[in-house]
Amino acid sequence: MINRKNIPNDNCDMADALLPQFVAGELSARQTWQLEKHLTSCRDCSLKVEQLRQTIGLLQNCTKLDTSDDFMAKLHARIDAVDASAEDFKSSEQRTSFRDIFKRIGSVRRVPGLPIGVALGVAAVLMISLIPGIRPSQSAANAYQPDAHTSTVVEAQLAQTAADPLGDAAADQLVVHQDSSTLDNSNP
């Protein structure tokens, strides 16, 4: 069970489960705040949010076609007709494949479990420690994580802009917090 009230800063799994609701705007204010806090420190999750938003955006921009009133009825009739002809063949295939699977499981049971478990454990440890791509600490180190220093320089930048009547600090506030997806400098 996911404790949705508290999202640890480095727990991408928990954040991952909330992303669809986050994009749909269905989370509570507290959950949204906590998730946004996580997103500021996790590039992977931020990218997932962006991909999710882009996917939804693409789907929303798809051309909608009108169909005739009896379209669904005709479609279901055709699917039923196809299903009926293929049902015998599919059921016999499934029975065969299930039997094979049960046989394989049975054969695995006869293999000693302890050596297999130890071997798998060692392999997992080796993978985690040797392959840089899946090492959690390394991936965290390469991720963009704004820290106290970055907050400081952002504030210093806002202050510089605010001193200039032509500066527009409100625009800078949006610029320094904008997503990677808005890089195209498109006209507003």
Partner 1 sequence: MINIYLLPKGSKIKYALGALAIVVCTATSVVSAKAQLGRTFKRAHKPAAHASRPLRGYGYRPSKSKASQQVYSDPRAVNLLLQTFTSHAFYKGVQHTQVGSQISVQNVMGGPQGRLRLDYISPPRFAGDVMVTAPKTFLHYISTKQRTYVTHWPAGKRMRIATRLRTLIRNGKLLVTQTGWQEIAGVNCTIVRIARNVAGVPGGVTQRQVWIDPANGIILRNERWSPAGIQSVSYFTSIDMGGASGVTMRDFTVASLPANSHRQRIINQSTRVLSLEAAEQSAGIHVLLPAYIPAGYHINGIWTVHHGKLTSVLMRYSAGVNHFSIFEHQVLRRGSSYPHPPLRPRAGVQTWRQEADGTTIAITYIGSLAPSDQITMERSFR
Nearer to partner 1, 4 or 41 (CB): 41
Nearer to partner 1, 16 or 179 (CB): 179
Please state the closest distance from residue 54 (CB atom) to partner 1, in A.
12
Please state the closest distance from residue 87 (CB atom) to partner 1, in A.
50
Nearer to partner 1, 102 or 144 (CB): 144
Please state the closest distance from residue 141 (CB atom) to partner 1, in A.
6
Please state the closest distance from residue 99 (CB atom) to partner 1, in A.
51
3-state secondary structure the chain: CCCCCCCCCCCHHHHHHHHHHHHHCCCCHHHHHHHHHHHHHCHHHHHHHHHHHHHHHHHHHCCCCCCCCCHHHHHHHHHHHHHHHHHHHHHHHHHHHHHHHHHHHHHHHCCCHHHHHHHHHHHHHHHHHHCHHHCHHHHHHHCCCCCHHHHHHHHHHHHHHHCCCCCCHHHHHHHHCCCHHHCCCCCC
Nearer to partner 1, 68 or 186 (CB): 186
Please state the closest distance from residue 97 (CB atom) to partner 1, in A.
45
Rounded distance between C-alpha atoms, residue 3 and residue 25, angstroms? 19
Nearer to partner 1, 5 or 109 (CB): 5
Nearer to partner 1, 21 or 173 (CB): 173
Please state the closest distance from residue 70 (CB atom) to partner 1, in A.
41
Binding site for partner 1 (CB under 8 A): 29, 32-33, 36, 137, 140-147, 149-150, 152-160, 162-166, 168-171, 173-180, 182-188
Q: Which residues of 51-73 are buried (b: 16+ CB within 10 A; e: fewer)?
A: eeeeeeeeeeeeeeeeeeeeeee
